[in-house]
Structure 1
Amino acid sequence: MDEKYPDPEEPGHTPGLEPGGQVPPGETPPGEDSTAGAGPDEHHNPPKGWAKAPVIIIGVLVLLFLIYFVAWAVEL
């Protein structure tokens, strides 16, 4: 039997246990670290916000739309 991994059916022979099966302080592993750095590095993400070209195109379309309806309203 491998001494590194004792049989859990024999708690009397399991290292690091106090009588009664309690784990003494200092025997427990440290708490888990954050998983924030677990994913891949992504440096290709685009910057936030709108580029100038789409804003200009949308503005021109809105302006043409308004001019058309103002001219249509004046014609009536």
Structure 2
Amino acid sequence: MSYVNPDPEPDRTPGLEPGGGVPPGETPPAESSMPEAGPREPEATTRGWAKAPLTIILVLVLVVAVGFLTYALALIL
């Protein structure tokens, strides 16, 4: 199996100037210059945590902490 180099040979590539440069107009422009071309992002309606999920998380943490303390006291006594 022979290896074929995927890179083009600079001597046989059309459109190259001496030294490897490309003349103006040979390549397409990178992007258009239209400002705000895309849709605007909606503003965030909620900020921070809501009270209900935060309360549920705190209650669960307290239940787990009390469970660990009860288990530790049961091992000691």
Please state which band the TM-score falls in when normalised by the shorter chain: 0.3 to 0.5
* TM-score, normalised relative to structure 1: 0.46
Using the size of structure 2 for normalisation, the TM-score is 0.46
